[in-house]
Structure 1
């Protein structure tokens, strides 16, 4: 077909100046990048704009660091938040609705043991504390007093395993009381109305304490880190294999977020950004008091964290929470993380802990 000079110039102008979203999407695909990257978050979003908290992943979201990484390529980044926490994220992964997820250890272990093809690519939100709250006038004074009581536990989340460890350390199991599966909001409401005798939960129990609706009778802060919760970013194997460049850039953006979040100069801003998601700044300040940000916001799978995941796989199977055991070393894929650390010259920025919880060199 013959073209006139005007038609040729018009076509050339369209090709040169075509900066529409559709053309950017074509460019992204041509560069072996996806048109969309979908993130799942095992927390409900609160506020406008929506926010979540307690991890460097939350800072990456608040500051738009992943979006910034892909802006020039026209790759869209979508965030999905799940009130049903880790189990709900697993359902979305099963239905191929997500490419990456911020999730805790237990739900990811349950998913992997059931056949979900995922890879852990960096840590985020590790060593998060758990608390035990009771009604303000309750006679319960410690974990040991839970025998025969009605106790709320958000089952299937990353708090369940450390809760089981706390119970075991106090001579109990979930069979020693009436264990009730309630999400965080429902458990706190039931605690306030005294429909339950106690509730294990996260930092938000401090808010309930401050409103005089509950007393805290146990907290993992200051104790053994084996009684804390661990979190990570995972990628689906399908996405990672199809888009290795995009995976590397996502991890790089998350490492940048971890670096900024770990800088003590930014402590106040980090805690206030998290407070946008509903938990007061004062509670974050209390929960993080005396702890270096570089410990809690460390993206590395060091020997301690790897040991925690291996222990979690064993315990999840022991407590009949997962279908099978599997090789954690094959599940954790540190290639992208190590590349990002090298590129950003952060190989030695965060402390490294041995499997026994002691920092390397002590």
Structure 2
């Protein structure tokens, strides 16, 4: 049922690649020790080392990278999962403890504002929704009713910026709420215990709804696309510079996983893989309801994604989430995603979106 990608580069394959290959000298590097540290800005239920909800989670769970590097016994892959989400990933990057990470937009912008040198490699988790959950018996009927209420928001995450924009669209700001900074697990427990009146999140909110412990007050689904959360695979600039061949292989495998994860016939198998995180397939089924797998799992660094990051950076500054403006020029490196799409023959599989969010005409 699940994808079983074979090692991409055999000896015969290497011989045929010739001078045009992007991965020269691999046989000479096979025994060279190298540890690649990859982090997820999320973690499974009860701290399980799985992260559902994205193609990168499939690549990890199904061993895509391990197979791809089977010809390099000296290369070791280490996977890390952060309960502290994006802010914790930033700390690991800053302390030189990660090389690559799967992370959302706001924490990436925050890190860039502090001078952290990173490179965007491909999209992962684009067009993701945010939910506001309230107790089933709550009398709140809409976003405007949150004024003066105790609301849990995990500050510094991409849900944080999303909800700020939603509040602004409803004539509110964070200051109009009694905001409590809580991670997903803590806010879920607090909502059930009646310690807060609403919580902002994604899978954690849906988990409560599935158990009958909450209802959705508001969802960004069907609302302004500018409220969507974006995510990418990001790397330390120094790692990309030092290890371009390794970076290319990793990007190619993530694109391979995105291709499998974008095919509608794999939808239920996809949810089953993600369920290893401890969240039921029902949660992911609900989260993706009404959206195509292709739109959510596109790896393209298209004009829409880049424009969204420009806007996110501007709004993060305007809302006081960062202290200095962020220039995104040169942040997105298209080389690796372009080469991966060509190698896998997927140049026309996903449709890029323009700045306005509309499909870009081909040709």
Q: Give the TM-score normalised by the residue count of structure 1.
A: 0.89
CA 1:349–1:33 in structure 2 vs 1: closer, same or farther (change >3 Å)? farther
Partner of 1:291 in structure 2? 291
Cα distance, 1:325 vs structure 2: 2.1
Q: Distance in 1 between matches of 2:54 and 2:338?
A: 20
CA 1:178–1:246 in structure 2 vs 1: closer, same or farther (change >3 Å)? same
Post-superposition CA distance 1:294-336 (Å, at most 9, x none): 1000000111111110000001111121232232231111111
Q: Does the Cα contact within 8 Å between 1:53 and 1:277 map onto a contact in 2?
A: yes
> What SS does structure 2 have at the residue aligned with 1:330?
coil
Between 1:199-208 and 1:41-50, the stretch displaced more is 41-50
Determine whether 1:155 maps to 2:137: no
CA 1:82–1:28 in structure 2 vs 1: closer, same or farther (change >3 Å)? farther
CA 1:40–1:148 in structure 2 vs 1: closer, same or farther (change >3 Å)? same
Determine whether 1:228 maps to 2:222: no
Cα distance, 1:39 vs structure 2: 0.2
> What SS does structure 2 have at the residue aligned with 1:73?
coil
Matches within 5 A, 1:90-105: 90-105=90-105
Partner of 1:345 in structure 2? 345
Q: Distance in 2 between matches of 1:150 and 1:49?
A: 30
Q: Does the Cα contact within 8 Å between 1:33 and 1:246 map onto a contact in 2?
A: no
Q: Distance in 1 between matches of 2:253 and 2:46?
A: 24
Matches within 5 A, 1:185-264: 185-264=185-264
Aligned residues: 336
Cα distance, 1:292 vs structure 2: 1.3
Matches within 5 A, 1:7-46: 30=29, 35-46=34-45
Q: Distance in 2 between matches of 1:29 and 1:152?
A: 53
Q: Distance in 2 between matches of 1:190 and 1:28?
A: 54
Cα distance, 1:290 vs structure 2: 2.6
CA 1:144–1:33 in structure 2 vs 1: closer, same or farther (change >3 Å)? farther
Q: Does the Cα contact within 8 Å between 2:152 and 2:187 map onto a contact in 1?
A: yes
Partner of 1:51 in structure 2? 50
Q: Distance in 2 between matches of 1:109 and 1:156?
A: 10
CA 1:46–1:145 in structure 2 vs 1: closer, same or farther (change >3 Å)? closer
Post-superposition CA distance 1:67-92 (Å, at most 9, x none): 11112111111101110000001111
> What SS does structure 2 have at the residue aligned with 1:161?
helix
Cα distance, 1:116 vs structure 2: 0.7
Runs of 4+ in 1 over 6 A off after TM superposition: none
Q: Distance in 1 between matches of 2:45 and 2:141?
A: 33
Matches within 5 A, 1:256-275: 256-275=256-275
Post-superposition CA distance 1:16-67 (Å, at most 9, x none): xxxxxxxxxxx88846966111001101244797321111100100111111
Cα distance, 1:361 vs structure 2: 4.2
Matches within 5 A, 1:170-181: 170-181=170-181
Q: Does the Cα contact within 8 Å between 2:44 and 2:278 map onto a contact in 1?
A: no
> What SS does structure 2 have at the residue aligned with 1:208?
helix
How big is the alpha-carbon RMSD for the aligned residues of Structure 1 and Structure 2? 1.9
Larger radius of gyration: 1
Determine whether 1:63 maps to 2:62: yes
Cα distance, 1:360 vs structure 2: 2.4
Q: Distance in 2 between matches of 1:28 and 1:93?
A: 30
Q: Does the Cα contact within 8 Å between 1:33 and 1:245 map onto a contact in 2?
A: no
Q: Distance in 2 between matches of 1:48 and 1:95?
A: 22
Determine whether 1:332 maps to 2:301: no
Q: Does the Cα contact within 8 Å between 2:56 and 2:102 map onto a contact in 1?
A: yes
Q: Distance in 1 between matches of 2:297 and 2:263?
A: 10
> What SS does structure 1 have at the residue aligned with 2:69?
helix
Between 1:145-154 and 1:341-350, the stretch displaced more is 341-350
Partner of 1:136 in structure 2? 136
Cα distance, 1:268 vs structure 2: 0.9
CA 1:142–1:33 in structure 2 vs 1: closer, same or farther (change >3 Å)? farther
Q: Distance in 2 between matches of 1:49 and 1:198?
A: 26
